[in-house]
Chain A
Amino acid sequence: SAVISQKPSRDICQRGTSLTIQCQVDSQVTMMFWYRQQPGQSLTLIATANQGSEATYESGFVIDKFPISRPNLTFSTLTVSNMSPEDSSIYLCSVAITRTGLNTGELFFGEGSRLTVL
């Protein structure tokens, strides 16, 4: 497994502002993702954070709204830009720990950042 630290753990923000969430992993990981979990909804993948290149966004998510940085294999940030109340959610960083010889692995999550937009 991996130890994943996110901050802030929670924040209350004003409409129109932006918030950057940081994710730090205690080991180098290739695959890092950002998920969102809105109240009563499933975890929804926002994007894959790629080290040294632009993130890969899922349908419905765009870079202008959710810019992501991944400067190295242990750190990533997600910014929620120009926030509205609809962005109120828990944002979770996750990493995939791969199994030797397999092309898939298990996903581990940070504790999440609970965002409330007023």
Chain B
Amino acid sequence: RKEVEQDPGPFNVPEGATVAFNCTYSNSASQSFFWYRQDCRKEPKLLMSVYSSGNEDGRFTAQLNRASQYISLLIRDSKLSDSATYLCGSSGGSNYKLTFGKGTLLTVNP
């Protein structure tokens, strides 16, 4: 089993839609979780850290479920500019190394 697995996608949604991505992790010692956004031919950029209590940043909401070992990202009112690949990452134990999923491609259509 891969350490971090994501919905393979691709997701094609109309503007204004709500879309959710899930990501599961196998290392129960993982302490920190993140969502990154990667545009085509660009480096990944941090979108959100995922806190135990869940966190929200505008149209984006991230949740962590430790019991089931998954994290989620919800995007409300999708914009064309949200089109990108979304990567989830987790760090194991007390280190800074992140393990990433393969990413989920989102395309928001007009």
Residue positions of A touching B, CB distance < 8 A: 31, 33, 40-45, 48, 92, 96, 98, 103-112, 114
Q: Nearest chain B CB to A3's CB is how many angstroms away? A: 12
Residue positions of B touching A, CB distance < 8 A: 4, 31-32, 34, 41-46, 49, 87, 89, 91, 94-103
Q: Nearest chain B CB to A73's CB is how many angstroms away? A: 15
Q: Please name all residues of chain A whose beta carbon is closer than 8 Å to the beta carbon of B41 when the two chains form the complex.
A: 114
Bound form: Cα–Cα A45–B87 in Å: 14
Of the residues B34, B42, B101, B103, contact of A107 by C-beta under 8 Å: B34
Total A-B contacts with CB atoms under 8 angstroms apart: 54
Chain B contact surface mostly = strand
Q: Can you name 20 A-B pairs with beta carbons within 8 Å?
A: A33-B96, A41-B102, A42-B4, A42-B101, A43-B87, A43-B89, A43-B98, A48-B97, A92-B44, A96-B96, A103-B95, A104-B31, A104-B96, A105-B96, A107-B89, A107-B96, A107-B98, A110-B43, A111-B43, A112-B43
Contact yes or no, A33 B97, CB < 8 A = yes
Bound form: Cα–Cα A111–B98 in Å: 17
